[in-house]
Chains A and B, each alone.
Chain A
């Protein structure tokens, strides 16, 4: 069964600090992996999309990595801001059919 596991479940950091969120998946065959930011009560917003051949992709202060061999991805947030407080969701798409597998998300709280 396809699964996406994220850790930690929640994280509290101080403004200005960096953090890294983890995503492990068992989706096969693999097509691409996405990171989303979801503010409370809002729809997810795409941060990055990574295909099998991509190891790193950046979007401003967000940098995602992908290790397709170990089936792991990480999202690194640099110099966190209060507005980074949100849930960060890892989603993996399988090849051949579009049925995404969502992780439960990491809830990030950034304190001043």
Chain B
């Protein structure tokens, strides 16, 4: 069964460093999303991506964040200068329609020291 994969499963970084979180969405999906979940809190939407551009973004998704689909399979989230409060689980998701079922990856746990 096709699934969304994410790498790495755990990333530890120093404050101020850049990190890139990687996702491989399900192959025939066209809509891609990033979410984050701070430990013990609710899931928060970051950004949606379609047709090689951002379609929606939340207030959280400020200038330190960027997304890219560098090739036909990967979808990345870059955080330019990490802060302590960026420590969270980051989930990638994909769907074959904007309002269709989304399939989530297993997440990347980002720890900023």
Contacts and interface: CB of A to CB of B under 8 A. Distances in A.
Interface of A: 31-32, 38, 41-46, 49, 89, 91, 93, 97-100, 102-105
A31 B98 CA distance: 11
Contacts of A46: 101-103
Contacts, number: 46
B65 interface: no
A38 B105 CA distance: 12
A44 B56 contact: no
Nearest to A32: B99
Given A97-B56, A98-B55, A103 B101 contact: no
A105 B42 CA distance: 7
Contact of A49 (B44, B56, B98, B101): B101
B42 A43 contact: no
Most buried by B among A46, A98, A103: A98
Contacts of B99: 31-32, 49, 93, 98
Contacts of B42: 89, 102-105
Contact of B98 (A38, A98, A103, A104): A98
Given A42-B107, A43-B93, A99 B58 contact: yes
A43 B58 contact: no
Nearest 3 A/B pairs, CB to CB:
A43-B104, A104-B42, A46-B101
